[in-house]
Every structure is written in structure tokens, then in C-alpha cells.
Amino acid sequence: SSGSSQMKMKNFFLLFIFCHVSLSVKHSYTDFFTTSTGISNLPEFTIRLLIDDALAVYCDSNKTFEPQRDVEEKLFKGEPQLLEKYIQLCFERLPNFFKTTLNTLMKHLNQSGGVHVLQILLGCEWDENTGEVVGFLQYGYDGEDFILLNLNKLTWIPLKPQAVAVKQILDADEAIMKEFKVYLTEIYPEWLKLHLKYENNSSLRPVPPSVSLLQKTPSSPVSCHATGFYPDRVDMFWRKDGEEIHEDVDHGEILPNHDGTFQMRVDLNISSVKPEDWSRYDCVFQFSGSKDIITKLDKAEIRTNWGTRSEFRAAVIGVVVGLLLLSITGLFIWSNKKKMNGERQIRFHSFLENLFLSCRITHISFKSIHLKSVFILKE
């Protein structure tokens, strides 16, 4: 019948859409560049290369160049010419260009001194199945979105009124825009594929997480926090009486650690949970090929920064966060991707909340902070 045929076509269409979406595998190559003025005792610039949101390479103005994973160690041994290109980019091309850009911004914003920070995100996203490549380049200035490059139209798009005058200057240098387009849509994708090739050939095995219950104050939500797991294909949720719950639950993003592993958290609002009902709740971490990790909601298991030594802990945490803020407030992550005039707009937002989650509890673990660059992504 006609109705039956239409239903079959509808089901086929939905199946086609589902298969198309599920088969899409995207990878990203992202450089985070930071330079500043008015801040002493810190590197003049830092660059972090992330492959699929995992830190792969770190370099700075102190001539530090550090592969962060075994994958990159093997890559640079097997591809020495790529290592030479990376070193040239880290210590010559990118710093020289972007330090000049910072001076240009300050000049046209009538800023002769003080503390100012320029952050640049540049890279590409490659769809493994379709071959589609999307390049992106965006500037953040003093912690806010500032301007981005539309690679299709080769023009700069202001994200703040103050960026309009700067746009005219940047638009005048068409050669630089064309060079960026070549790097972001041709060269970077090829480098990304090399990283992925060595990653696929490496012996990266699944790594289980460390799971903790964290709480800032007695009235705060209880965070179920898992860190140190690999890969990032995991699930974590709260249950009540063995059934997954969604009400009063806030799911955080899966975020990268500096060592190539990942972290995530799921918060449970306990304001309406009676003390006698706590035992009915548990947090479940599901990991492919592994047994579920179940953590009971138990006051004795919660790590807090309140209690007899809370003032001391708060003071220490305040110092840590203050140092991080002074060290260029470099805790920004690429997320909330939005289409804007045909290009991806990258939102800069502070990663401090997630740092707090790791550092604000009964002790501060510095093993997760790269001591040569205290403003590293996450922990």
C-alpha cells in the first residue's frame, strides 16, 4: 500500500541518516599560541600542539621543545624532517609573526604598556571518511574573542567593535592570509595524518581511571570525577536504586589531560536528598571492555576542602589560582564550535573550574601540572 511504502521510505531515510552520522570520524590538529607583555618570569611565548584534544608537543621561548607522548617520540625519530619543520615553526615563524601582531594590536588600541595577552588558535579538522578539511584561525585578546579569519573569503571577521580597525590592517596583507590557508587546509592535515598513523601503530592500550567523589562545600553538588583514562569513549552517570537518573544531574565535558589521557565529571545536586537516602545513589563509570566502576554516595568517601583545615586549603588554592591567572590565564579550551559566515568560531572560556575540581580538594596534586608551564590545559 501507499502508506506502507511511505513508512519504508521514511525508515530507510532515517537509517541512512543514522549511518551517515555514525560513520563520520573527525580528527583535529590545533596549535595554541600565547604571547604577552608586562608579565615577568614567564616564557615570552608558549605553543601547545593538540592532536584530537590531547597534548602532543609543547615548546616555549626558553628553547624548550618537548614531545608529550610516546607517539610523538616515535614520530620524530621516524620523520626527522617533520621535527625540523616543527622546530622552525616553534622558535622562528610563529613567534616572530604573532609577537609583531601583538604589537600591532596594542598600537591600534592605544595601549602603550601594561599586561596584555594575545592567544591564537589555529589548526584544522579532518573528516576521515569524507576527506573534508576545515581550517580555522582565531585571535583572543586579553581573554576575550577578538577576530577570526574566514578562509573561504580570505577576510577577517571582527568579534568585538575594537577589532574593526584591526581588520582593515589584517585584510591588507593578502599574502599572509593565503599562506595561512595553505597551512591550515593542506599542510596541517598532512601532519595530522602522520600523527594518527604513528598513533594507530603504537601500543596505546586502554587505561582505567581514578574515580573520586568531590565536594567544595556541604551545600555544593557532589562531583563524581574520573581522570587518567584512555581512550575517551566512555560513559559516566548517577544512579538511584540501580536506575540511571537525569534530574539534578549535570554532565561535564570529556577533557584532555596533558599526558594524553582524559578526565570527566558528573555532578549530583544533593540538596533534596535526605541523609538516610544517600546509600541509594551511586556513580557508574563505564569503560569499553572493562567492568563498570561503581562508587557509592558516601560522606566518608567524599574529598572536600571544608572542615578543620578549610581556611588553610582555601588560602593555598587561592595562591595557585592567582598564579595561574597571572601566568597568562592560559587555561582555554577549544569548544562550542559555531558556524559563522562559513567558518568555525572558537569560543575562548576559562578552564579554571576544572582545575579547581582537581586542586581544590583536601590536597593539591601538582603531578598533573606541567611545571615548566603552569598554565597547561587541564588537569
The pTM assigned to this predicted structure is 0.61
Note the pLDDT tens digit of each residue in 48-95.
Answer: 999 988 889 999 999 999 998 888 999 999 999 999 999 999 999 989
Report domain 26-203+320-368's class.
alpha beta
Q: Do domains 26-203+320-368 and 211-304 have the same CATH topology?
A: no
Q: Which residues pair with 282 in a beta bridge?
A: 239, 296
Tell me which residue has cell 585584510: 171
Res 10: pLDDT: 52
- Positions in the chain short of pLDDT 50: 12-13, 15-22, 308-312, 314-316, 319-379
Instruction: Select from 204, 54, 181, 202 the least CA-distant residue to 124.
Output: 181
Q: What is the mean pLDDT of the chain?
A: 79
- pLDDT at position 11: 55
127: how many CB neighbours lie within 10 A of its CB? 14
Find, among 76, 29, 71, 37, the residue nearest to 53 by Cα.
29
3-class DSSP assignment, residue 297: coil
1.10.3720.10, 2.40.50.840, 2.60.40.10, 3.40.50.720: CATH of 211-304: 2.60.40.10
Q: What is the pLDDT of residue 4?
A: 55
Q: DSSP states of 216-249 as a string? A: SSTTSPEEEEEEEEBSS-EEEEEEETTEE--TTE
Note the Cα 120 to chain centre separation in Å.
Answer: 14
pLDDT of residue 39: 87
Residues contacting residue 235 through CB under 8 Å, at least 6 positions apart: 285, 286
SS3 content of the chain, % helix, strand, coil (to 5): 35, 35, 30
Confidence (pLDDT) at 274: 93
Domain spans, the chain: 26-203+320-368, 211-304
